[in-house]
Amino acid sequence: MDFFEAAEGPEPQFTSGINFEEELNEEQYAAVTAPFGPSLVLAGAGSGKTRTLTYRVAWLLDQGVDPSAILLLTFTNKAAREMLDRVADLTGVSSKLFWGGTFHHIGQRLLRRFGGPVGVNPGFNILDQSDSESLLSDVIRRVDPKFLKDKNNPKPKVIANLISYARNTLEDVGVMARERYPYPANLGPDIGRFAAAYEKEKRKQDVADYDDLLELWLKLLKTDPSFLHYCTQKFDQVLVDEYQDTNRLQAAIVDTIGSHHRVMAVGDDSQCIYTWRGAELNNIMTFPDRHPGGNIFKIETNYRSTPQILSFANSVLDGHTGGGFRKELRAVRPDGNKPILVSTVDTTQQAEFVIRTISQMVDNGRSYGDIVILYRAHFQAMDLQMELSRTGIPFQITSGVRFFEQAHVKDIVAQIRFVANPRDITAFLRFAGLLPKVGPRTAEKLYAFIVDFAEKNQQNFFDVLGAKAVVAKVPAPARDDWESLATTLRDCYHAAHDESPDEVVRLAVEGWYGTYLRTLYPNWKSREEDLTGVVGFASRFEELSELLAQLILLNSEASDRSIEPGEETIRLTTIHQSKGLEFPVVFILGLADGMFPLNRAVEEGNLDEETRLFYVSVTRAQDELFLSYPMVQSQGGPPRRLQPSRFLSSVRPDYYEAVRYRSSW
As beta bridge partners, residue 632 has: 641
Task: Centre a 10 Å sphere on the Cβ of residue 445 and count the other Cβ atoms it contains.
Answer: 11
| pLDDT band at residue 371 using 50, 70 and 90 as cut-offs | very high
To 5 degrees, how large is the angle CA 543–CA 545–CA 548? 115
Give 429's contacts (C-beta < 8 A, 6+ positions apart).
Answer: 440, 443, 444, 447
**Which is more confident, 401 or 106?**
106
269, 285 Cβ separation under 8 angstroms: yes
Strand ranges across the sheet with 395-397: 395-397, 570-574, 371-375, 583-588, 621-630, 340-344, 657-660
> pLDDT grade, residue 567 (50/70/90)?
confident
Question: Over pLDDT 90: what percentage of the chain?
Answer: 76
Kindly give, in sequence order, each residue whose CB lies less than 8 Å from that of residue 313, ignoring residues fewer than 6 positions away: 45, 305, 329, 615, 618, 619
Report the chain's C-alpha Rg in angstroms. 28
Residue 352 has pLDDT above 50, yes or no: yes
Mean pLDDT of 115-128: 94
User: Which residues sit in the known binding site?
Assistant: 43-50
pLDDT higher for 301 or 83?
301
pLDDT over 80 (residue 13): no
Residue 540's pLDDT is 86
In this predicted structure, what is the pLDDT of residue 5? 30
The stretch 583-599 carries a mean pLDDT of 96
Amino acid identity, position 295: N
Pairwise pLDDT comparison (188 vs 67), residue with the higher score: 67
Compute CA 501 distance to the chain's CA centroid, rounded to the nearest angstrom. 32
Query: 255-269, 355-369, 519-533: which has the minimum mean pLDDT?
Result: 519-533
* pLDDT tens-digit readout, 430-468: 999 999 899 999 999 999 999 999 999 999 999 999 999
Measured CA distances, 597 to 186, 279, 626 (Å): 31, 19, 17
pLDDT of residue 3: 27
Residue 665 pLDDT: 42
CB distance 590 to 629 below 8 Å: yes
pLDDT band at 620 (very low <50, low <70, confident <90, very high): very high
pLDDT at 554: 67
Helix (H) or strand (E) holding 42: strand 39-43
Asked whether the beta carbons of 286 and 313 are under 8 A apart, the reply is: no
pLDDT band at 630 (very low <50, low <70, confident <90, very high): very high
Q: 307-400+565-660 sits in which CATH class?
A: alpha beta
- What pLDDT is attached to residue 167? 96
Helices marked H in 207-258: 210-223, 225-234, 248-257
What is the arithmetic mean of pLDDT over 317-333? 84
pLDDT over 90 (residue 390): no
Q: What is the pLDDT of residues 250-308, one digit of tens each?
A: 999 999 999 999 999 999 999 999 998 899 999 999 999 999 998 999 999 999 999 99
Residues facing residue 391 across a β-bridge: none
Amino acid 550: pLDDT: 83
Topology classification of domain 405-555: PCRA; domain 4 (1.10.486)
What's the CA gap between 120 and 204, in Å, rounded? Answer: 10
Mean pLDDT of 50-66: 94
Per-residue pLDDT band for 400 (boundaries 50, 70, 90) equals confident
Backbone angles phi, psi at 373, to 5 degrees: -120, 120
Cβ–Cβ under 8 Å, residues 217 and 192? no
| Mean pLDDT confidence for 409-422 | 94
Q: How confident is the model at residue 555 (pLDDT cuts 50, 70, 90)?
A: low
* DSSP code of residue 37: S
Flag whether pLDDT at 123 surpasses 80.
yes
Q: What is the pLDDT of residues 459-485, one digit of tens each?
A: 999 999 999 999 999 999 899 999 999
Out of 445-459, 558-572, 599-613, which region has the weakest mean confidence (pLDDT)? 558-572
Helix (H, G, I), strand (E, B) or coil at 9: coil
CATH code at 26-113+220-300: 3.40.50.300
Q: Does pLDDT of 616 surpass 80?
A: yes
Whole-number percent of the chain with pLDDT over 70: 94
CA distances from 289 to 256, 261, 293, 429 (A): 14, 12, 9, 59
User: What pLDDT, on the 0 to 100 scale, is given for residue 633?
Assistant: 83
At 158 the pLDDT is 93
Specify binding-site residues for ATP. 43-50
pLDDT tens for each residue of 85-115: 998 898 889 988 999 999 999 999 999 999 9
216-246 residue pLDDT tens:
999 999 999 999 999 999 999 999 999 999 9
Residue 577 predicted with pLDDT over 50: yes
Look at residue 562 in the predicted model and tell me its pLDDT: 57
Nearest to 258 by CA among 272, 274, 246, 271: 246
Residue 631 has pLDDT above 70, yes or no: yes
Residue 664 has pLDDT above 90, yes or no: no
Mean pLDDT of the chain: 91
